[in-house]
Amino acid sequence: MCGQTTFAFAGEPVWVAHCHCDSCRRNCSAPFTTFIGVPRAMAEMKGWYLRAYQSSAGVKRWFCRHCGSPVAYDAKVDDNLHFYLSALEDPQQYQPNAHVFTAEQLSWVHLDDKLPKHAQGSTPDAIDGLSELD
């Protein structure tokens, strides 16, 4: 939001998905959030105000200490950094391919976007791997 922290990545994302898990909802104060998975080796985050909060074992949530904007979800369980799609300069250029953690979805959220919905599982390593989440 303030421009004091930035991130960039090279190439195409591995996946784009809406996450409905409780911890992502609480982190963003939103009913769900949308992530773009980028190979860790192709991603860069920088800025004097960039900080991380360890929200659980092996999980860091990166944010801007200056304005508080969330930047990325970083779990050591996969080779991707999960950037918040809405934080991109042009979030319209990527379309979500699925919903994950729908078992934790709020009961008043009703989405009819025809995307695959996965009750459990971590965000996939590849869009083709989405069917393996259930």
**Token pair 């008043």 in the structure block, residue:** 108
CATH superfamily of 6-132: glutathione-dependent formaldehyde- activating enzyme (gfa) (3.90.1590.10)
Q: Which residues sit opposite 75 in a β-bridge? A: 59
pLDDT digit string, tens, across residues 29-75: 999 999 999 999 999 999 999 999 998 888 999 999 999 999 999 99
Contact (Cβ atoms closer than 8 angstroms) between residue 125 and residue 80: yes
Q: Containing H/E element for 117? A: strand 117-118
Q: What is the 3-state secondary structure (H, E, C) of 36-104?
A: EEEEHHHEEEECCCEEEEEEECCEEEEEECCCCCEEEEEECCCCEEEEEHHHCCCHHHCCCCEEECHHH
pTM: 0.85
Cα distance from N-terminal residue to C-terminal residue, the chain: 35
Contact (Cβ atoms closer than 8 angstroms) between residue 104 and residue 20: yes
Q: Which of 10, 5, 6, 12 is nearest to 126 (CA)?
A: 12
pLDDT digit string, tens, across residues 12-29: 999 999 999 999 999 999
Contact (Cβ atoms closer than 8 angstroms) between residue 50 and residue 130: no
Q: What is the pLDDT of residue 78?
A: 82
